[in-house]
Structure 1
């Protein structure tokens, strides 16, 4: 038995709370994962997991073994990271997740450059507005916007995003331009549905030194940024999105900002990763490269 592989598999099962999910993130058949844990328990002479059709929990022996595995694998990762740092070319596989709009606008156009600079790193990129669970999904790092509630994550600040309210000339010609937040009651809005909650996001404004939110009624709602933008371009209603996304359309005249004096406060953009994986040389290299991209972009100016 490959003891290190068995220990890694056991930890992934505990963290994911699922044999199937652990097998998926490890790119192994579920049957292999099940057999590996059975063999490990047989070799140790102790049951590590309590399994039923709906729940998965650790036995007392499992809790002790999990604590030991975490310490052992963390030490191995630390040593390997130090060796990797000494190498001329970092190597490894990095799984990263980020909002689709950031990935398409900033990261994908620069992948050829990344490949040329770091040929030993394999990237698996997830572009989605769905918030990813780093531990459960087996992701090494993720770009997130807004305040970070999870203090167990290591975070590196990249910049800020400003959110603006805008509409197409077609909409403004038909419905006019709102001159205050209260005037929005007489306008049509497109709502953005949060992938985390399944509910429309409140609209955000900053008026007379105070941040405020407003619930907007809407006949149309979507849960993807490109679709949301398209609804605005079609003149179906007002939209509120990041200036980074809107900027090309503002320059071309296909969108116009409204209520600029009530623009909401900028929100932070960060790249985060779990403590357990912060020793990966390949992950650290990718994080540094992402920070370079943001440093060169308009995000530093709050776009």
Structure 2
């Protein structure tokens, strides 16, 4: 039995949810996938999958085997990637995490260019701001805004994003525009963003000369997703502080209006973070290099729009 092929087939069945999709993505007949799984179960003398007419259900032993097998296959892919040929043509599965704002607004629209350069890399993109167990979930790297809260992670600062304070026209018609940041604590409402990891509210930050202010402000609504945060601002829940690249169209149409223009905002730092006990494979290196160039292009676009 080709155990490595059987492991790859098992992983793909679990990840795709059925044998047909697994065979399509692997480029082998469905019957071959079935035989590989049956041989693997016979070798292990345990049932890994329960099959029904509509779906495949992973057994308890199958879930345990998947957790270990996905790491083993990833290690083999990284070992292959250390060879000279693979360095020139990196291959394998790349597991990446980032928020929906960066995924939808920056990375996914540009991924076709990445695949042109590296057609043998498969990117599995997890979208959200949730806390990630990098080792358990076999995550290679993540793009995170703000200083990483976990000191055990290896973090590389890769870009800075311009922020803007703004509000919707209906909100400004009702409450007027704030003239000073401290008015957000008494005369106005803010849309709050809270961190999914700990529930902490991210304060608004303002730079005025030598003065730096952190304002939490009054609020009757908070959210922990950047896209929903913009929606809340658009419908008039309050003043928002948001990455400029996310609202370029809304600003151009006048749906959102900049406020407190005399007060600058600190640039939002972006970090690539890695689990501490995994070396940086070549497939991760090329993806990070591509991502850094992509983010630099976004920052230049923001500056040119001013």
* Superposition TM-score, scaled by structure 1 size: 0.70
In the TM superposition, what whole-angstrom CA distance separates every residue of 1:146-186 from its partner, at most 9, and x where no partner exists? 12344543333321023322101221122111110122210
In the TM superposition, what whole-angstrom CA distance separates every residue of 1:233-285 from its partner, at most 9, and x where no partner exists? 11222112112212222122111111122232113112121243334222222
What does 1:154-173 correspond to in 2, within 5 Å?
A: 154-173=154-173
C-alpha deviation, 1:201, in angstroms: 2.5
Distance change >3 Å, CA 95–CA 84, structure 1 → 2: farther
- How many residues are paired up? 250
Is residue 188–residue 238 contact of structure 1 (8 Å, CA) maintained in 2? yes
Distance change >3 Å, CA 236–CA 275, structure 1 → 2: closer
Distance change >3 Å, CA 189–CA 35, structure 1 → 2: closer
Distance 1:36 1:133 in 2: 16
C-alpha deviation, 1:82, in angstroms: 2.5
Is residue 81–residue 90 contact of structure 2 (8 Å, CA) maintained in 1? no
Distance 2:101 2:236 in 1: 21
Structure 1 gaps, min length 5: 3-22, 38-72
Partner of 2:25: none
Q: Given the alignment of the two structures, is residue 194 of structure 1 paired with residue 195 of structure 2, yes or no?
A: yes
Q: Given the alignment of the two structures, is residue 133 of structure 1 paired with residue 163 of structure 2, yes or no?
A: no
Q: Given the alignment of the two structures, is residue 211 of structure 1 paired with residue 241 of structure 2, yes or no?
A: no
Superposed CA RMSD: 3.5
Is residue 154–residue 274 contact of structure 2 (8 Å, CA) maintained in 1? yes
* SS of residue in 1 equivalent to 2:111: helix
Distance 1:169 1:32 in 2: 55
Distance 2:244 2:269 in 1: 13
Distance change >3 Å, CA 209–CA 89, structure 1 → 2: same
Distance change >3 Å, CA 278–CA 236, structure 1 → 2: same
Is residue 160–residue 301 contact of structure 1 (8 Å, CA) maintained in 2? no
Distance 1:131 1:217 in 2: 27
Partner of 1:123: 123
Partner of 1:31: 61
* SS of residue in 2 equivalent to 1:276: coil
Structure 2 gaps, min length 5: 4-47, 49-57, 68-72
C-alpha deviation, 1:107, in angstroms: 0.9
Partner of 1:96: 96
* SS of residue in 2 equivalent to 1:277: coil
Distance 1:215 1:147 in 2: 18
Partner of 1:180: 180
* SS of residue in 1 equivalent to 2:159: strand
* SS of residue in 2 equivalent to 1:156: strand
What does 1:250-261 correspond to in 2, within 5 Å?
A: 250-261=251-262
What does 1:8-47 correspond to in 2, within 5 Å?
A: 30-32=60-62
Distance 1:78 1:182 in 2: 52
Is residue 160–residue 299 contact of structure 1 (8 Å, CA) maintained in 2? no
Partner of 1:230: 231
Distance change >3 Å, CA 259–CA 85, structure 1 → 2: farther
* SS of residue in 2 equivalent to 1:262: coil
Distance change >3 Å, CA 131–CA 301, structure 1 → 2: farther
Q: Which of 276-285 and 165-174 deviates more?
A: 276-285
Partner of 1:243: 244
Partner of 1:47: none
C-alpha deviation, 1:33, in angstroms: 6.5
In the TM superposition, what whole-angstrom CA distance separates every residue of 1:86-131 from its partner, at most 9, and x where no partner exists? 5542111000001111111111111222222211111100111224
Partner of 2:291: 290
